[in-house]
A and B are shown apart, each in its own frame.
Chain A
Amino acid sequence: MFEIKHTLCPSCSVGCGINVILDNDEVVGTFPYKRHPVNEGKNCLNGRNSVERFNDKIGSDIDLDKAIMEISKEINDSDKVTVLLSGNNSLEEASAIKSFSDENNFNIAFYADDLGNFEDVASYNDVENASNVLIIGDILCENPLVGRRIVHAKQNNAKIFSNIKAEKSVTANISDEVSSSSVGEFLDKYSNLDDSSVIVFNTVDSAEDLDKIRNSGLKVLPVYSKPNTKGVLSIVEDNSKDELIEVLNDTDVLLVVNDNIVDEIDFDFKSISKIISLSAFENDTTKISDIVIPIKSWLEYDGSFVNAMGDTQNFSGVLESDVSSVFEIFEKINN
């Protein structure tokens, strides 16, 4: 049976809608979700690929009960267990993981791209209507559907100033001024902008930059790399890269829930005696994990993500699946 169903893109925090094409309950492609207010049917390559790569899911042919027993043993035997939350976790999953971790007195860690948490953030409309846009990072390429709002701002006569380390970029192509200085110098240079200016950023050099951004008096929009980082920030505090490394240095058993931390931080993961991954897809973290438990992907369960501008969006599973959910796995471990 041919069907087209709505879901959300899981590939960054912009929160685009995307339609999935199913043929006899198999994911065969994507279709523009033109009714979605965030992206109006437009998705970048990463977004479309996230659906296309669905078929590379980790197979569910493991002895789950045995694996759960092993995990229970590992986490009971150690008093240095760290649970790593992820911006890939839905709000509901993140709450459940937090409770699980609290009940068992585990450490909880969460990395939010070193972008910190901002209570008040600019909306995408604020970006479009800004008088000036300060861009830090190659937003047009990396988060194109926020990049599009910056293009609109330019069409509305905003001035665009960008700070990009790469020599060439599309973001630079649309900017009035481009700098490759440190983020701090860049922010200092444009510290006198009027208050309808917006800072859009997906990277910074240091925590001091975040303070500068906070104190700029301008509207700000941090654009995280994962769909629900903003949502998880409402549940736990984030750790900077340095803090995370400190936590990992003091970890014997690391439980990673749907994340690929290995690709994000420079750390010798061999120093951790057991790494357990719950993941829908294979990645560099599952590759080095001692135990890998397949879990449902976002196409197989209902949940919600909070996008970069703070809107909570619900999504529904588009496929039935026998694979366990994060909730079921934790329940089993607890029992």
Chain B
Amino acid sequence: MSYILAKSKNEDILKAGECGGAVTSIFKYLLDEGIVDGVLALSPHDDVYDGIPTFVTNSEDLINTAGSYHCAPTMIGDLIQKYFADKKVAVAVKPCDIRSIDELIKRHKINPDNIYTVGLNCGGTVSPVSGRKMIDLFYEASPDDVISEEIDKGQFIIELADGSEEAVKIHDLEKEGYGRRNNCQRCDVKIPRKANIACGNWGAEDGWTFIEINDDKGQKLIDGAKKAGILETKSPNEAAIEGRAKVEKIMIKMSKKNQEATYPLVNEVEEWNRCIGCYACRDVCPICWCYKNCELSKSYFKDDIIASPMPIAFQGVRLSHMSFSCVDCGQCDDVCPMDIPVSLVFDKLQKKYQNRTGYLAGVSDDIKPPLYSPDKVEL
């Protein structure tokens, strides 16, 4: 593992990039050299609150994907598994994305040789509609005038077209039920170390991206992009490295505190009571890869669920099949029409499992997922 600061040598990318445009430049290198068939990143559709996964095959289009979209809580693991299994792709991944990819690799659903994973450190994402409401309520500016947002030094910062900025403390926003999604407030994996490289603004100088190189493939990405003349690098100083480590530690501590505060509060029976059995949580879950072959699609379960609104059978099957691998990505909460805090229930159980076995989903280096390690199944 080593650290570098990196910056794009392409002016347009440098300008459009969130920090040093390193991520976009590495993607450009991979596409231009024909190393990958395409790049899976985000681009804003209607506005900055509408970041949508986009597959780019022409490096000129990469410019539309540069920048960080904090109001785009997307998930990419299942997309790769379902639609890109036979392609070589480079992909931008938050910690929850790479954790789901890691779990899918362990299940032989993604071939690690086919993907290049460029990690983004992540302090959290905000749901777009509630994010707009939050800006409307807590900021002078209108949500329509925001051209980019940023989470830094404990603040949610918005930038307007005229270059001005407004900031409000995340803590104050979250106290009022706004700010980062609930699962993000609990998420304790902030640097995606299972990705080939992990990029971020922590420890970075202005106009540079701080990169932690996690493996040989990551080193090759950096070396290749430099050789292609699109990336320049330098070493960060010790103070920056230490500062970054310190912020990571503080963030993790905050998340643990949120875990302790929220795990005991959830009343599963009351929450499941309004479950309409719509399967949205299962269908979106990157770990529930069996999808159409799911045990729950078998007729004996189907009839049961429709006949009775008590979804214990359904949620029980899912909990027992995959909760030990839950990566707390919050997709299930996001899609639940009944606003059931599904991830809280699943994540709570995974943490319980972690406490007993040491296995942290999508992070621990176990070769096989717990389902195939009978010694670890017992709780």
Chain A residues with CB under 8 A of B335: 32, 41-43
Asked whether, in the complex, the Cβ of A41 is within 8 Å of the Cβ of B334, the reply is yes
> Is B159 an interface residue, CB under 8 A from the partner?
no
Given contacts A28-B83, A29-B82, A48-B280, is CB(A168)–CB(B309) below 8 Å?
yes
CB A33 to nearest CB in B, in angstroms, measures: 9
> Is A308 an interface residue, CB under 8 A from the partner?
no
CB A204 to nearest CB in B, in angstroms, measures: 22
Asked whether, in the complex, the Cβ of A45 is within 8 Å of the Cβ of B279, the reply is yes
Contact among A3, A6, A144, A174 for B337, CB-based, below 8 A: A144
- With both beta carbons as reference points, the residue of chain A lying nearest to B278 in the complex is identified as A45
Q: List A32-48 residues whose CB lies under 8 Å from chain B.
A: 32, 34-37, 39-45, 48
Contact among B47, B280, B309, B336 for A170, CB-based, below 8 A: B309
Asked whether, in the complex, the Cβ of A145 is within 8 Å of the Cβ of B337, the reply is yes
Q: List A73-87 residues whose CB lies under 8 Å from chain B.
A: none
Asked whether, in the complex, the Cβ of A42 is within 8 Å of the Cβ of B276, the reply is no
Q: How far is the CA of A29 from the CA of B72 in the complex (A)?
A: 19
> Is A4 an interface residue, CB under 8 A from the partner?
yes
Chain B residues with CB under 8 A of A29: 82
Q: How far is the CA of A83 from the CA of B273 in the complex (A)?
A: 44
Asked whether, in the complex, the Cβ of A147 is within 8 Å of the Cβ of B338, the reply is yes
Given contacts A48-B283, A168-B308, is CB(A2)–CB(B83) below 8 Å?
yes
Chain A residues with CB under 8 A of B128: 34-35, 40
Residue-by-residue, is B66-104 near A (CB-CB < 8 Å gives 1, otherwise 0)?
000000110000000011100000000000000000000
CB B185 to nearest CB in A, in angstroms, measures: 18
Q: How far is the CA of A234 from the CA of B47 in the complex (A)?
A: 32
Contact among A32, A145, A151 for B334, CB-based, below 8 A: A32
Chain B residues with CB under 8 A of A42: 280, 334-337
Asked whether, in the complex, the Cβ of B276 is within 8 Å of the Cβ of A44, the reply is yes
Asked whether, in the complex, the Cβ of A173 is within 8 Å of the Cβ of B279, the reply is no
Chain B residues with CB under 8 A of A174: 273-274
CB A74 to nearest CB in B, in angstroms, measures: 41
Residue-by-residue, is B297-334 near A (CB-CB < 8 Å gives 1, otherwise 0)?
00000000000110000000000000000000001001
- With both beta carbons as reference points, the residue of chain A lying nearest to B336 in the complex is identified as A42
Contact among A35, A141, A151 for B129, CB-based, below 8 A: A35
Asked whether, in the complex, the Cβ of B309 is within 8 Å of the Cβ of A34, the reply is no
* Chain A contact patch, size range: 35 or more
Q: List A1-24 residues whose CB lies under 8 Å from chain B.
A: 1-4, 6, 19, 21, 23
Chain A residues with CB under 8 A of B59: none
> Is B246 an interface residue, CB under 8 A from the partner?
no
Q: List B321-379 residues whose CB lies under 8 Å from chain A.
A: 331, 334-339
Chain B residues with CB under 8 A of A221: none
Q: How far is the CA of A48 from the CA of B281 in the complex (A)?
A: 12
Q: How far is the CA of A48 from the CA of B278 in the complex (A)?
A: 10
> Is A99 an interface residue, CB under 8 A from the partner?
no
Asked whether, in the complex, the Cβ of A148 is within 8 Å of the Cβ of B52, the reply is no
Contact among B54, B127, B309 for A169, CB-based, below 8 A: B309
- With both beta carbons as reference points, the residue of chain A lying nearest to B310 in the complex is identified as A168
Contact among A6, A32, A45, A145 for B45, CB-based, below 8 A: A6
Q: How far is the CA of A3 from the CA of B53 in the complex (A)?
A: 8
> Is A140 an interface residue, CB under 8 A from the partner?
yes
Asked whether, in the complex, the Cβ of A2 is within 8 Å of the Cβ of B50, the reply is no
Q: How far is the CA of A141 from the CA of B45 in the complex (A)?
A: 31
Asked whether, in the complex, the Cβ of A4 is within 8 Å of the Cβ of B276, the reply is no
Q: List B30-63 residues whose CB lies under 8 Å from chain A.
A: 38, 45-47, 49-50, 52-55, 57
CB B27 to nearest CB in A, in angstroms, measures: 16
Chain A residues with CB under 8 A of B278: 44-45, 144
Chain A residues with CB under 8 A of B339: 148, 151-152
> Is B275 an interface residue, CB under 8 A from the partner?
yes
Asked whether, in the complex, the Cβ of B334 is within 8 Å of the Cβ of A34, the reply is yes
Residue-by-residue, is A156-195 near B (CB-CB < 8 Å gives 1, otherwise 0)?
0000000000001110011000000000000000000000
Chain B residues with CB under 8 A of A148: 337-339
Contact among A28, A35, A144, A173 for B309, CB-based, below 8 A: A173
Q: How far is the CA of A74 from the CA of B128 in the complex (A)?
A: 53
Chain A residues with CB under 8 A of B129: 34-37, 40
Asked whether, in the complex, the Cβ of B280 is within 8 Å of the Cβ of A173, the reply is no
Chain B residues with CB under 8 A of A37: 129
CB B158 to nearest CB in A, in angstroms, measures: 16
Contact among B49, B276, B334 for A141, CB-based, below 8 A: B276
Chain A residues with CB under 8 A of B14: none
CB A2 to nearest CB in B, in angstroms, measures: 4
> Is B118 an interface residue, CB under 8 A from the partner?
no
Asked whether, in the complex, the Cβ of B274 is within 8 Å of the Cβ of A151, the reply is yes
CB B249 to nearest CB in A, in angstroms, measures: 31
CB A170 to nearest CB in B, in angstroms, measures: 5
Q: How far is the CA of A2 from the CA of B39 in the complex (A)?
A: 11
Contact among B47, B280, B334 for A45, CB-based, below 8 A: B280
> Is B122 an interface residue, CB under 8 A from the partner?
no
- With both beta carbons as reference points, the residue of chain A lying nearest to B279 in the complex is identified as A45
The 3 tightest CB contacts between A and B, nearest first, are: A144-B337, A35-B50, A2-B55
Extra 14 A-B pairs, beta carbons < 8 Å, given A6-B46, A34-B129, A144-B337: A1-B55, A3-B55, A6-B45, A31-B53, A34-B73, A40-B127, A41-B127, A45-B278, A140-B274, A141-B309, A144-B278, A147-B338, A169-B309, A170-B274
Q: Supply 11 A–B pairs (Cβ within 8 Å), ascending by A.
A: A34-B334, A35-B45, A40-B130, A42-B280, A42-B336, A43-B280, A45-B278, A140-B274, A145-B337, A170-B338, A174-B274
Give the interface of B toward A (CB within 8 A).
Answer: 38, 45-47, 49-50, 52-55, 57, 72-73, 82-84, 127-130, 273-276, 278-280, 283-284, 308-309, 331, 334-339
